[in-house]
Amino acid sequence: MSASHLPVLQVALPLIAAPICVLLRHPTLSWAFATLVSWALFAISILLLIRVMSEGVISYHLGGWAPPFGIEYRLDAVNSFVLLVITGIAAVVTPYARQSVAKEIAAPSHNLFYALYLLALTGLLGITATGDAFNIYVFMEISSLASYVLIALGPSRRAQAAAFQYLIMGTIGATFLLIGIGLLYMMTGTLNLADLSVRIAEAPDMRPIYAAFAFVTIGVLIKLALFPLHIWLPNAYTYAPTAVSAFLAASATKVGAYVLLRFVFTLFGQEFSFERMPLMEILMPLSLVAILVGSGIAIFQNNLKRLFAYSSIGQIGYLALGISFASTSGLTGAIVHIFNHAMMKGGIFLALGCIMFRSGSMEISALNGMGRRMPFTMAAIVIGGLGLVGVPATSGFVSKWYLIQAALEADLWPVALLVLLGSLLALVYVGRVIEAAYFRSPAPEAPAGREAPWQMLLPTWVLIAASIYFGLHTEITVGVAERAAQTLLGIAP
Amino acid sequence: MDILTHINYWAAIALAAIGLYAVVARHNLIKKLIGLSLFQTAVFLLFITVGKVTGGTAPILDAAYEVYSNPLPHVLILTAIVVSVSTLAVGLALAISIKHKYGTVEEDEINAADNSPEPDTEPNIGSGEA
């Protein structure tokens, strides 16, 4: 009985936990509670994924109202996998947050921080779990509003300006999505995603559906921060508290990618998106530019968080590139990259938080000699960075392998070459970090550094170790991603 | 006469365009928020107008009526209005906080303050012991 309610618990649990965090008041208590909740969510998402893989699609009817009239939570291989990624990241970042937040945010508002954090998590999980188009909009706004405030909590005053910029961009994106959903509702009279996909396929060739497609895609691309709609991302990631940067970098853009997948493949269908609408011709050049420009700009950054934020823009390019192939191997690459990039980038941002914790600076010059002073933290950044480059035996290699395979299958060898060029650019910016940390001597006035506390190192290494483990043992991630890709393309249920 | 039959749609489109233009073109953060609000409200109008059924009445079951307006868009927009109000509140709170820290709500002055070589007032947190 209770097991059948797992899909809604995934969303309801953090939603109820957030106000309890506010009432708990005590910083450590609310942190412990948030950690407990995030672990419970992680456990639930594992159970759900196992059930989906063995039994197929789970459809949960909210309040017992049957779809398409009631709201449905519909879990298939795609979103149960994304749920696992998000809750996994939350289960690692929440325990880490305690020390990092204690250092970066003023004490009286710690319980509010955890409440907002849980709300952002609620939104992300809700977007992923729901099978209702309007629900996606509402949850997207819940997660966005919480993230605006989380970003504004950053120590510098620029955090507020960055949050404001994100608020403007994010609201325009979400409102575009709302327009798209409105037009779809106008034409089909339904909001249930599964029902919509049937009716769009039956609908006559009408212009509002084309307009809806354009609005939805642009709205989601803003959330995904695909070039040239990425302007909000570098500032937001740079000035947010480090735990927030790590959480958002690892989860928020991934959910954006999921929504794009859901709308493009499940809702509109591959035939509509790629044959009647020129999605491939638009998405592929943009993602290639994102890979090259994002990685290229990253090379010239002197602020570490900004460097890795631009690197994220490049990595989002890989995600979008995989989507634009619309083939099994392309989508497998994209979905596996959702997982792998979350591990690598989450791990790197957590390690940056350790450096911030000890040195109080995010300038690349602060890294000088850091390889000797904080060996474990720096080793984590190096391994994560090599993953971003795509060195074999890291999980970044797996996703790039599938992307290049997809490019060659589609006879687009220049695309494969550009992917490799993007890896070279990544090598340059990761190389800069390594050079500063291992080959430069620290400034004489630099404080004698110590390694970060184990409560922060352990979560960092969990993510980094996961990124190596899943680089060597690909059968779990690739297996699920392949199944998810086939689900999206309509080959398998 | 085509325009007149779809006047409600044209109104929503015009309002949305005005709002979006204000968001992009204005440099004052408050004016940007006003534009954003206008843009969202225009989309709400679009939804509401979809729910209207010609000759339909309020959706209360009664033997005397057979045609009812669609109430679902109203319900959706009620939720969306709550979202929009919260967004506006967060936006204004951020604007107040920016005004306190920068002394201005003009975007170009904020950028100038950020790019100036003068050391800004960032608290130097994290430099001490844990």
| Closest CB to B127 among A99, A175, A360 | A360
Domain assignment present for residue B13? The answer is: yes
Q: Which residues contact A154 (CB under 8 A, 6 or more apart)?
A: A104, A162, A239, A240, A241, A244
pTM of the model: 0.90
- Say if A361 falls within a structural domain: yes
Determine the structural domain holding residue A361 and report its residue range. 279-493
| CB pairs A-B closer than 8 Å | 96
- At A165, the amino acid letter reads Q
Q: How far apart are CA A282 and CA A288, in angstroms?
A: 11
Angle at B61 between CA B59 and CA B67, to 5 degrees: 60
**Does B126 sit within 8 Å of A175, measured CB to CB?**
no
The verdict on residue B118 lying in a domain is no
**CB atoms < 10 A from the CB of B13, how many?**
14
Residue A395 lies in a domain: yes
Chain B touched by A141 (CB under 8 Å): yes
List all residues 6 or more positions away from A114 whose beta carbon is below 8 Å from its beta carbon: A21, A30, A31, A33, A34, A97
In a domain? residue A210? no
B94 and A152 within 8 Å at the Cβ level: the answer is yes
CB–CB contact A103 B130 (8 Å)? yes
Domain count, chain B: 1
| Total domain count, chain A | 1
Residue B101 belongs to domain spanning: 2-106
Per-residue pLDDT of chain A (493 residues; tens, 9 = 90+): 456 888 888 899 999 999 998 888 888 888 899 999 999 999 999 999 888 888 888 888 888 888 778 888 888 888 899 999 999 999 999 999 888 888 888 777 888 889 999 999 999 999 999 988 999 999 999 999 999 999 998 888 888 899 999 999 999 999 999 999 998 888 888 888 888 888 888 877 778 888 899 999 999 999 988 888 888 899 899 998 988 999 998 898 899 999 999 998 888 888 888 888 888 888 899 999 999 999 999 999 888 889 999 999 999 999 999 999 888 888 999 999 999 999 999 999 999 888 888 887 888 887 887 778 888 888 898 999 998 888 888 888 888 889 988 898 888 888 888 988 988 999 999 988 888 888 887 766 666 667 778 888 888 999 899 888 888 888 888 888 888 888 888 876 5
A168 to B39: CB separation less than 8 angstroms, yes or no: no
CA atoms of A266 and A216, how far apart (whole Å): 13
Q: How many CB atoms neighbour CB B21 within 10 A?
A: 13
Q: Is residue B44 part of a domain?
A: yes
Residue linked to tokens 């968001």: B23
State the ipTM, two decimals: 0.86
CA distance A103 to chain B (A): 6
Query: Using alpha carbons only, how large is chain A's radius of gyration in Å?
Result: 21
User: What residues of chain A lie within 8 A of the CB of B110, using their CB?
Assistant: 161
Q: Which of B23, B86, B102 sits opposite A172 (nearest CB)?
A: B23
User: Which residues, in sequence order, are CB contacts of A277 under 8 Å at separation 6+?
Assistant: A210, A213, A268
Strand, coil or helix: A492:
coil
Cα-flanking dihedrals φ and ψ of residue A100, to 5°?
-65, -45
For residue A125, what are its two tokens? 């999980």
Residue A156 lies in a domain: no
Whether A150 and chain B come into contact, CB under 8 Å, resolves to: no
List phi, psi (to 5°) of A421: -60, -40
The CATH number of the domain where B97 resides is what?
Answer: 1.10.287.3510
**B117 lies in a domain?**
no
